[in-house]
Chains A and B, each alone.
Chain A
């Protein structure tokens, strides 16, 4: 005992007690700041810029605190920040109970909590808010890229949590990241098991839905709108045909019917009722049918796209009297539906009635009589020339388009709202599908033939990797339908007259070089010459497609099919067993990785013999104290009379020589001899024999 230790009044130095002035470990803090950035980045596309600005401000402040330059915000600053954030959300115009408002508040809470975070509890709150923000982001976007990104985000947030439980003095965030990374990696097999087997349930109550703006066809259409859409190569939907893919010219994906025309704008008229169970479209010619499944990207609307004449195979999807399909709810995430289309059916909404009901006839022949007088006069002349036959009239119009110098272009001259058809038909003669279809419908109506504009997509690109058809926004198209007594609605596409290539081979073939150059950089049309890029795009698309099919689209129905395949039949017991077995297997795998110990390096045989001896004599009450040298232990035993002094001395000498003298030249004989000696001693101790 050192003299110091008994010096009176001297207190042993003692480290600070737990709970006194807790400080969040710095590596955890650093990770939390990184996590904030990582979590907020995907929201850049969904939330207003001022929220992002608040996040940046808070992050900047916190980094100032981190570096010791600034203090935590004072109470009144916090109050002002919170009040103005909440006020900002209220005033920003998004609905108070909308998902956007909730997400905005969540992100703001996450950012604001970061600057006032001091204790361990605050840190956990920030971490949990971070997890929640990551999950909420998936309500806006579930693409594979976002999912991959969010796995990284989860890792960073988890690393912050690891940092919280490491010694405060460790300053290497990468170590925490490494641990979090292996945690996540090892959790993945179990995640897959849970994802497969955890029962999917129908929604418990209705929730506010994201109302983010979307690209795509809308229910109001000005001639320029489709031309804008054409500039986007965003995916509209994917189609998987059960059989062969029909030729491009037959792929008219009908989506919306525009019955009103006013001031140069086409819009959807009043809604038509659904078909009831007893009524069926009347067959017209042939009985071919096409079966396919559509995976529609979110549109925020309830209209669906299908080929003529569709019959929905997915529960909830209905057919309307204008032969469109409607989803039960607005499409907010990828929506899959099966359709059987029969091109041979007549598009006659009331097959039992003779012709078009008056109400519908009035609606589909109405036009602003004071607008486009030249076109009206032209149509009246042509109508007389064609002997009041709609079919002849339409062919004459198509011939006119073909013969006269009409041009198909993405950038037609801008037209006044009034007199737009006059200006297009007689003066500019340059236009896009909507111009031609619009002019055609207007002329048909002006002579009393029911006609309407139809919007949707035309064509599509076959992905050679998986064989599905990709329909993109630049496939958006508009065409016309007119009423033929006895037959029903008939499709007519005047664009086919001015640019046949558009219908036969797709947009790209119909465009002039100038138009093509104006398309967005990533349109696959631009990669026409670069086979590698094209292949890469196809590959990426098929990956996204499979992701939509199997991951995002993994709903009650698909789960039912998969489980039936895996388990034979679906009973709670089997699902429970599968969950347990899968869970045990995946956790067992992790346990094997964690607890697997490499065999310790082979020990010295004498050491091994001695430790075995120690373990055995422990049973007879002789316990080697921790750190007790072998010689001391043997002497202690010998002192009890179990060994003669000379025996003890020789044993100790042997042990010391064999264990500690590196120069000792020992062979297996020495070891055997020593082992025998130890064994004898052990027996003596066990049976209490002395000398």
Chain B
């Protein structure tokens, strides 16, 4: 999996990407060391170098030993900072710790665990000012002072349905002086599922599947109140009789005739528009059906998900919708 780093379109960008893939191969877990951490002065670092040059010039022209002294002290600080900056990343372990799927247009969450190497549990040797982020996402700061590990949540906007590969993860630090940048591009082999952007339209009773399966019941039927029963987990929240609960009684729910409704089929062939639009509509319907607690199934050409209810079912349906055609 070659991920674009910076500019995949340019020749050098692609060469760099291939070189990176060899140098830092994709792996869900990676430890940072001198093999995969780069270090270079920042622009501020170069300005700092200019300042040092100016000081040395002043020292030469004024023959002032202590101006030399200041220049040498600052130069030495710069060199020592190389070690500090590198050490701030060195030994860190990064682990891909899961994602949370989302819809197109949403920010998709990736969790990364950052683990500090064991160094005798000395809190003073914490790591700080570590910034991690995906090329297209926001950047998070990580400080590891007293804890050994931290879970960082990063967000990348899902622009297309299917698997989202956020690309290589940029881990960088400017600590302690901002004169140097130590960084690495690691590929944690992370991917997240992006569901189609839901489009909501009329409720699916009009196209509630084939006539031969179940009976079409009056849509108003869902409003037909039948009786009252005690609340059980899983009952639709909107059916709870809050007024009676406020009186101090138990949670009661109203039962409606719609409980008896037949299974609903969401079929790609039953909606209009382009492929993506149809998938979006089906997604919207699936979500609405799930919210209403209706039993529904999915048909995408040859792919079929048997009607069911519940969280896991919805997830499965959405996954099929996201991955359709890929």
Output the nearest chain B residue to A554 by Cβ-Cβ distance: B65
* Given A135-B70, A165-B176; A626-B113 close (CB under 8 Å): yes
State whether the Cβ of B204 lies closer than 8 Å to any Cβ in chain A.
no
Known contacts A124-B44, A598-B119; can you find 16 more A-B pairs with CB under 8 A?
A: A1-B100, A5-B101, A12-B107, A18-B139, A128-B51, A131-B74, A132-B55, A142-B66, A158-B177, A162-B176, A164-B178, A188-B73, A190-B72, A194-B75, A551-B66, A595-B87
* Given A128-B47, A333-B63, A554-B65; A598-B176 close (CB under 8 Å): no
- Which residues, 17 to 33 on B, are CB-close (under 8 Å) to A? 28-29
State whether the Cβ of A587 lies closer than 8 Å to any Cβ in chain B.
yes
A77 to chain B, nearest CB (A): 28
Q: List 30 A-B contacts (CB under 8 A).
A: A1-B101, A6-B287, A8-B287, A12-B109, A14-B107, A15-B138, A124-B44, A124-B178, A135-B58, A138-B66, A142-B64, A147-B66, A154-B74, A165-B129, A165-B175, A166-B128, A166-B129, A180-B176, A190-B76, A191-B72, A195-B69, A195-B72, A198-B72, A203-B61, A204-B60, A204-B61, A553-B65, A587-B79, A587-B83, A590-B83
State whether the Cβ of B155 lies closer than 8 Å to any Cβ in chain A.
yes
Which of B70, B79, B311 is A1 in contact with, Cβ under 8 Å?
A: B311
Give me the interface of A with B, judged by CB distance under 8 Å. Answer: 1, 3, 5-6, 8, 10-12, 14-15, 17-18, 120, 124, 128, 131-132, 134-136, 138-139, 142, 147, 150-151, 154, 158, 161-162, 164-167, 170, 179-180, 183-184, 186-188, 190-191, 194-195, 198, 200-207, 209, 333, 551-555, 583, 586-587, 590-591, 594-595, 597-601, 625-627
- Which residues, 69 to 100 on B, are CB-close (under 8 Å) to A? 69-77, 79-81, 83-84, 87, 90, 95-97, 100
Output the nearest chain B residue to A548 by Cβ-Cβ distance: B65
State whether the Cβ of B230 lies closer than 8 Å to any Cβ in chain A.
no
A687 to chain B, nearest CB (A): 25
Output the nearest chain A residue to B68 by Cβ-Cβ distance: A195
State whether the Cβ of B318 lies closer than 8 Å to any Cβ in chain A.
yes
Which of B28, B73, B96, B195 is A154 in contact with, Cβ under 8 Å?
A: B73
- B residues less than 8 Å from A17 (CB atoms): 138-139
A60 to chain B, nearest CB (A): 28
B195 to chain A, nearest CB (A): 8
- A residues less than 8 Å from B90 (CB atoms): 595
- A residues less than 8 Å from B228 (CB atoms): none
State whether the Cβ of B140 lies closer than 8 Å to any Cβ in chain A.
yes
State whether the Cβ of B248 lies closer than 8 Å to any Cβ in chain A.
no
Which of A167, A183, A202, A594 is B87 in contact with, Cβ under 8 Å?
A: A594
- A residues less than 8 Å from B48 (CB atoms): 128
A139 to chain B, nearest CB (A): 6
* Contact yes or no, B76 A194, CB < 8 A: yes
Output the nearest chain B residue to A144 by Cβ-Cβ distance: B66
State whether the Cβ of B54 lies closer than 8 Å to any Cβ in chain A.
yes
Question: Could you tell me the distance between the alpha carbons of A601 and B107 in the complex, rounded to whole angstroms?
Answer: 41
Give me the interface of B with A, judged by CB distance under 8 Å. Answer: 28-29, 44, 47-48, 51, 54-55, 57-58, 60-77, 79-81, 83-84, 87, 90, 95-97, 100-103, 106-107, 109, 113, 117-122, 128-129, 138-141, 143, 155, 174-178, 195, 198, 200, 284, 287, 311, 314-315, 318
* Contact yes or no, A184 B77, CB < 8 A: yes
Output the nearest chain B residue to A140 by Cβ-Cβ distance: B64
* Contact yes or no, A626 B67, CB < 8 A: no
B89 to chain A, nearest CB (A): 13
* Contact yes or no, B178 A14, CB < 8 A: no
Which of B71, B96, B102 is A626 in contact with, Cβ under 8 Å?
A: B96
* Contact yes or no, B84 A1, CB < 8 A: no
Which of B44, B55, B80, B118 is A600 in contact with, Cβ under 8 Å?
A: B118
B319 to chain A, nearest CB (A): 11
- A residues less than 8 Å from B95 (CB atoms): 626-627
A337 to chain B, nearest CB (A): 15
Please list the 6 inter-chain residue pairs (A to B) with the smallest Cβ-Cβ separation, ordered nearest first. Answer: A598-B120, A187-B76, A190-B76, A194-B72, A138-B66, A135-B70
A4 to chain B, nearest CB (A): 10
Which of A10, A599, A626 is B120 in contact with, Cβ under 8 Å?
A: A599
* Contact yes or no, B119 A207, CB < 8 A: no
- B residues less than 8 Å from A194 (CB atoms): 72, 75-76
A192 to chain B, nearest CB (A): 8
Question: Could you tell me the distance between the alpha carbons of A138 and B59 in the complex, rounded to whole angstroms?
Answer: 10
* Contact yes or no, A158 B77, CB < 8 A: yes
- A residues less than 8 Å from B83 (CB atoms): 587, 590-591, 594
- A residues less than 8 Å from B58 (CB atoms): 135-136, 139
- A residues less than 8 Å from B119 (CB atoms): 597-598
- B residues less than 8 Å from A147 (CB atoms): 66, 69
* Given A128-B51, A165-B177, A165-B178; A333-B76 close (CB under 8 Å): no
* Contact yes or no, B128 A207, CB < 8 A: no
Question: Could you tell me the distance between the alpha carbons of A202 and B77 in the complex, rounded to whole angstroms?
Answer: 26
* Given A6-B287, A11-B106, A204-B60; A583-B73 close (CB under 8 Å): no
* Contact yes or no, A161 B178, CB < 8 A: yes
* Contact yes or no, A167 B143, CB < 8 A: yes
Question: Could you tell me the distance between the alpha carbons of A17 and B62 in the complex, rounded to whole angstroms?
Answer: 47
- A residues less than 8 Å from B138 (CB atoms): 14-15, 17-18
